[in-house]
Structure 1
Amino acid sequence: MEPFVYEALSSRVVFGRGRISEARDELEKLGAKRALVLSTPEQEKDAQALASSLGPLAGGVFSQAAMHTPVDVTNQAMVVVSDKSIDAVVSIGGGSTIGLGKAIALRTDMPQLAIPTTYAGSEMTPIIGQTEDGVKTTQTTLKVLPETVIYDPELTYTLPSFIAGPSAMNAIAHSVEALYAQDRNPIVSMLAQASIEALATAVPNLMSDTLDSEARANAQYGAWLAGACLASVGMAIHHKICHTLGGTFDLNHGAVHCLMIPYTAAYNRDHASEAMKQTASALGVDDAPGGLYDLMLLSNKQKSLRDFGLTESDLDRAATLAVKNPYYNPRPVEKDAIRSMLQDAFEGVRPM
């Protein structure tokens, strides 16, 4: 066995149906006195209900979280933090809301309680991506890692399939990339394979019109593992290209990850053969990019970059941006090769 380094991050995880009822107890463990509950506008009712359950620990609700964590939204939230003497944040929602909580923690170092309602996995990572003037940048710092996470699968029961499917594929993307990341190690690889298997098994049932509570729980479990993988190892071309596309063209975060994972896996196929074998095994298929493509077709409304409304000139811009300050990747990040990959995704063809 090759030498490796594994660094576990410190987060408290509370998992199980109905455990959102323990939010107040968890805040008290963090020493919070006045917590700001965060959400997107669509989940404001959930945020208000949660704030009511917190009693005197609730310092208010801010419901303007947005995709890609715009800096101007964080600035608005910081005004509320100051005016209401907030000393902790509670993020209920998906990656947009949890991203806002991280942005506040980055500026204040206050504790976070994250309550995810999707499968984004951001709650388990010390990574934050923020967007300003159309450019999305990321950084890694333990200041943004939530101290406590409550996973309550019941909170995902009302998540519609058109959100649940891409969100689960977003989590799969974290785990696939962890298998060939620069800091990969046997522990993370084990978690990544378990994550891919749990999520891939759940995805078809997430797309059903009938609620499958066990599939919802498995998906959230897989998303937790995926987030832990992303937190432990670096990112590569998949996250770089999705950050570029999402931040530059304001594309839906989960949907663009869902679309691109078959193509980024194919980009690395010949340079990360062991990772592709591990992914294929977890998916129960012979070819990893092909298996990911089939799951993408099943779960994503947008089957191509063209479906997002992009043009071929947008692909040129994205390729140029993607090769600037590239993340580590097993295959060299070259503009022409990236442009070719984007063309395949634009046309929605099966990756070969």
Structure 2
Amino acid sequence: MKNNAQKAARLSVAPMMDWTDRHCRYVHRLLSGQTLLYTEMVTAPALVRGGAMHLLDFSPEEHPVALQLGGSDPQELAQAARFGADAGYDEINLNCGCPSDRVQSGTFGAVLMKEPGRVAECVSAMRETVDVEVTVKCRIGVDDQDPEEVLPAFLEYIRAAGCARVTIHARKAWLKGLSPKENRDIPPLDYDLVHRMKGAFPDLHISINGGIASLDQARTHLDAGLDGVMIGRAAYHQPTDILAEADPLIFGTGKAADPIEVVHKMVPYVEAHLAAGGRLHQITRHMLGLFAGRPGARAWRRVLSEGAVHEGAGPEVMLQALEGVAPLAEV
């Protein structure tokens, strides 16, 4: 499936903690059959030491789907990568970009930008253990580092270790003084630097991430020569805007998805989840933005958010919430 993941990386949805779980990814897959989807970050210690294999659960329909791992011990990451490959993931991605305190204390995430040699060891160990592609997601630098120097050196290290595909969040991460939320907004974006890296490393498959909020913006980056675009919050909060037209506009295949049809297609998935002991809101919390910007969106969110938390709530809540939404032809 390696080539599928690389082809799909033309557009991807960023790994986002507490958001891109398996239910979210299932909704996103119904909107776009081509876009590459990522798990939330799963720490290697949780799998290797904690035995938390349920974190690897996903539906076959989610392919192409990538597992993002957090960690800094090469052998532990290699073992976690093996678990991910055995579970059927199409790509294993190493997180070198997350700035949270919890991540820093575990010596993984953005703090690894300071240790490119260790990152290279991790990539090598993972590649030696699995056949699926091993990729990296990084920042342009951290704290007082000079991105113009640090980023190309970092890319040299991981390329030498055999990493052929990297996603670059075009912001620095400030590990002291800014919260994880502030790190998503306050450090300035440097798209030009990422584009220059493509010129300096033409053999690397480079995707850009950070602040991209529309397919038009994504196409601008692709037309300028980048290999892929990763979109985060916009894909979560306005999934229809980003994903419904992704297949025809970004991949040149298929037709735009209708979010009303997506809701109807979610009914059997919801029924199976409820039958397994799950709750409706575990799925529908990821569907609140399906009609963002359309007439009836507020009523959709209200009915869904209020109704889904009730004991015994089922697919009928989704269908009731749909009643106030205008069909696509009327928008």
What is the TM-score normalised by the length of structure 2? 0.30
- Structure holding more helix per residue: 1
